[in-house]
Structure 1
């Protein structure tokens, strides 16, 4: 097992609390010399010391986890090649920065995000020159702010999870028939009547519309029972959890009203998923069924995507599920959802990897595909992918199809039914993939779509290679 050296983080924790080495050593029941060795990285941080830190100071042990460090490394590996310095930053240097100076690493990521926003604004201005030019360039996209908000919290909002689980029990809801229970609860507690409209809830494609004056919640007849439950639970979040939704969104300090509103909607959707799939009962079922998504869907009466999304949120302290990465993509490779409880990371620069099985899912609609995928840093993941399709009208009406991907580190794979028949210990069984072509470190990949950022190409008019964009 890899030894964990976290001296700088431990020293920073002590300084933030205004403690001397002797005072902290006394609080942790350690000798001052042993604590000094920990802070100087002369000794690894042990589990008993981590537990003592948690007991005495209430410190989340994830602050000292390898997973948290790996997330920071992944983000830095994405950002640093895009800085344009012309100087390569080695993996060893990146690991050193993430392990010993995580605050500096996060500051660099913040600067990189501002840099990317400035580049995007400059490109937007250039595109508008000669057209209806306005002096104010558009701000960064609000949905990206909201996506990063959930990503930074490992896709787990403990306050909403706890409140939803409590409400599930108080309302007497039952798995698989939550829609009828929620309709009764809305009427009894809030005087809200649920009306299932013959067509859309209101206008083309509207699934839910709430009329505060008449206290009627209109739902589209095209929704399945599980989808009805989700829409009712979302509306219930605004009715009962409105103050909490506003407070959590306000604390995030979003750039504008649009991002704040999107965040509140995202938080309401989170609450809805937690209400339909209450944490304790859902985690127990997931473990008992070895995370079989389709069996979980039948038990709780919801669809494949809803189960996958909920599985990516099971990170309650003291009762964690498998840490999953959840993603939803379309045929063109656009990533409309990306939530992570793990350290897996796809690039924000230049798309994702075409060798990833989530794209193969479109060639086999409705079938669950599995893949062992190895990243350039050597980490291997088990990925599950399947398409989902939706419609809202009759014949000829446009619908939408997505591929859903759910992945976890290979060390958790044995807990999943999807590991059956896979050789988890054979490194050659894994498909080598990357975070995205522009930042991928695999020089000989025949599927590469873009040259790597910051690398000089080996351009030779007298030679042609099978793999495009050879690096000098």
Structure 2
């Protein structure tokens, strides 16, 4: 939109920008409301004549907080619009030589040019980020490491170029490969009539596309929190609300644990039944879940209908996820939580005690702080069990974990199992040379009786080294000395580190050099990729 009339749809829908040529877009009373697919979104002018969301009063045009190198995206945009460098330089009111430096990633893209590009070509700032491409490249790299492609090796540079120039084709290729892997597994085990984890993967991809942030739901939870009378605490406030607005009492029921339930509503008795021995932070979360289920059904259904997964099981899992998202956002309202996190330098233990929640709840919420114009540190979040099975995986930064095979054994999340309840801090470097600060710890509940077998789970929260100093976990670390940085990979099959003594199998898809005159730390090394 021209003349600064810019609205980032991600603020309300987590997807692409309202495009000027979108036939579904009707602008009414410029920057007062827009209607997309029949849904009205209200905006207003804020300080400095900047468009802000009427719900949360946050800028709809986010400021960039780190240097943005967007050369390939800038070149792709120019070629798509059939512009020469001189043409685009004239549009941006810069010199062709400066534009050439931007396209070659010799200079970062400044915010004022980013805003001008978005307004001129109807794009979202997120379009210029390479986070999504980094995840796709990692998935392509891992897929091409499968032995089925041993005669069709593809250098990393060509994979990256394919992702940038043909993203839809790459996405289709990855979908086809996942279908191929499933058919292989089904042939090996005839008892599997349906895909085992496909709905979870679909929902995980969908959440990742939104960077694990859903603005409408987040604002609704925040508004609900601010309406509560908290003089007797949040737990009592939630119980009172459920009684006053839904006629539901709460009562403890020891039989729930035997049935493997964490809560149940007895509709005949108008009672919420809860286990007697569960931690108070779990009770809080379950009460918030029930409120979300009762009060936010229409909003959740609207989000799913508009942009949710299409497959039935994935759709229902998406509904569960959004219900959990609302519950977490209600317990930890965005503005209050972001302010506390920044004040306490993202100290998870302090935040846990301050809000009366669990280590996992705080960590997960930290990974969702991506409200446009009010972003926190972009974290990745991962949860796995002691066998290495990944239970949750979301990333607001470039970090990407292997889809197939186990995680890297050098990752500090595995050390967390050896020191239950203690925080493990690690600086690690991935195969794309990015350095991350990782914070890992075991979570979960202790056994109630001797015969219990509680699940052993750990989580890891990570940010780039550029954001590490903002956290308490960087204290005492020399972030400029990389000698103690641990090299980690996406899993042995796709990892390119030939000299790793922890390697459990050769790199797939590459010719092996067993070394007749020398022997390495592992008995097999891969020959270098051909350019």
- Band of TM-score, shorter chain: 0.7 to 0.9
Would you say the 8 A contact 2:70–2:103 is kept in 1? no
Would you say the 8 A contact 1:385–1:403 is kept in 2? yes
Would you say the 8 A contact 1:117–1:140 is kept in 2? no
Provide the C-alpha distance between the structure 2 equivalents of 1:93 and 1:384, rounded to a whole number of angstroms: 33
Question: Which of 127, 143, 146 is the aligned partner of 1:79?
Answer: 143
CA apart distance, 1:286: 0.3
Question: Which of 320, 324, 328 is the aligned partner of 1:273?
Answer: 328
Q: Which residue of 1 aligns with 2:394?
A: 339
CA apart distance, 1:390: 1.1
Aligned residues between the structures: 456
Q: Which residue of 1 aligns with 2:70?
A: 4
Q: CA, structure 1 residues 288+66, in 2 after alignment: closer, same or farther (shift >3 Å)? A: same
**1:390 aligns to what SS in structure 2?**
coil
Provide the C-alpha distance between the structure 1 equivalents of 2:98 and 2:480, rounded to a whole number of angstroms: 39
Q: Which residue of 1 aligns with 2:185?
A: 123
Q: Which residue of 2 aligns with 1:196?
A: 252
Q: Residue 166 in 1 paired to residue 230 in 2?
A: no
Provide the C-alpha distance between the structure 2 equivalents of 1:69 and 1:3, rounded to a whole number of angstroms: 13
Q: Which residue of 2 aligns with 1:433?
A: 488
Matches of residues 59-98 of structure 1 in structure 2 within 5 Å? Answer: 59-82=123-146, 84=149, 86-98=151-163
Would you say the 8 A contact 1:161–1:274 is kept in 2? yes
| Structure 2 residues not aligned, in runs of 5+ | 1-66
Provide the C-alpha distance between the structure 1 equivalents of 2:149 and 2:385, rounded to a whole number of angstroms: 31
Q: Residue 48 in 1 paired to residue 128 in 2?
A: no
Provide the C-alpha distance between the structure 1 equivalents of 2:172 and 2:298, rounded to a whole number of angstroms: 29
Q: CA, structure 1 residues 93+230, in 2 after alignment: closer, same or farther (shift >3 Å)? A: same
Q: Residue 187 in 1 paired to residue 254 in 2?
A: no
Would you say the 8 A contact 1:292–1:416 is kept in 2? yes
**1:415 aligns to what SS in structure 2?**
coil
Question: Which of 416, 437, 451 is the aligned partner of 2:471?
Answer: 416
Q: Which residue of 2 aligns with 1:302?
A: 357
Provide the C-alpha distance between the structure 2 equivalents of 1:380 and 1:336, rounded to a whole number of angstroms: 24
Provide the C-alpha distance between the structure 1 equivalents of 2:331 and 2:243, rounded to a whole number of angstroms: 18
**2:456 aligns to what SS in structure 1?**
strand
Q: Residue 315 in 1 paired to residue 370 in 2?
A: yes
Provide the C-alpha distance between the structure 1 equivalents of 2:218 and 2:230, rounded to a whole number of angstroms: 16
Q: Which residue of 1 aligns with 2:206?
A: 149
Q: TM-score if structure 2 supplies the norm length?
A: 0.78
Provide the C-alpha distance between the structure 1 equivalents of 2:290 and 2:523, rounded to a whole number of angstroms: 51
Q: CA, structure 1 residues 153+234, in 2 after alignment: closer, same or farther (shift >3 Å)? A: same
Q: CA, structure 1 residues 214+249, in 2 after alignment: closer, same or farther (shift >3 Å)? A: farther
Q: Which residue of 1 aligns with 2:172?
A: 110
Would you say the 8 A contact 2:379–2:462 is kept in 1? yes
| Structure 1 residues not aligned, in runs of 5+ | none
Q: CA, structure 1 residues 53+368, in 2 after alignment: closer, same or farther (shift >3 Å)? A: same
- In angstroms, what is the RMSD of aligned CA positions? 3.2
CA apart distance, 1:11: 4.3
Q: Which residue of 1 aligns with 2:427?
A: 372
Provide the C-alpha distance between the structure 1 equivalents of 2:490 and 2:516, rounded to a whole number of angstroms: 30
CA apart distance, 1:95: 3.6
**1:338 aligns to what SS in structure 2?**
strand
Would you say the 8 A contact 2:224–2:330 is kept in 1? yes
Would you say the 8 A contact 2:150–2:510 is kept in 1? no
Provide the C-alpha distance between the structure 1 equivalents of 2:113 and 2:203, rounded to a whole number of angstroms: 35
CA apart distance, 1:420: 0.8
Provide the C-alpha distance between the structure 1 equivalents of 2:269 and 2:77, rounded to a whole number of angstroms: 57
Q: TM-score if structure 1 supplies the norm length?
A: 0.87
Q: CA, structure 1 residues 290+31, in 2 after alignment: closer, same or farther (shift >3 Å)? A: closer
CA apart distance, 1:72: 3.6
**1:399 aligns to what SS in structure 2?**
coil
Segment of structure 1 superposing worse, 329-338 or 240-249: 240-249
Q: CA, structure 1 residues 404+144, in 2 after alignment: closer, same or farther (shift >3 Å)? A: same
Q: CA, structure 1 residues 188+2, in 2 after alignment: closer, same or farther (shift >3 Å)? A: closer
CA apart distance, 1:207: 0.7
CA apart distance, 1:452: 1.3
Question: Which of 280, 300, 308 is the aligned partner of 1:225?
Answer: 280
Provide the C-alpha distance between the structure 1 equivalents of 2:473 and 2:95, rounded to a whole number of angstroms: 48
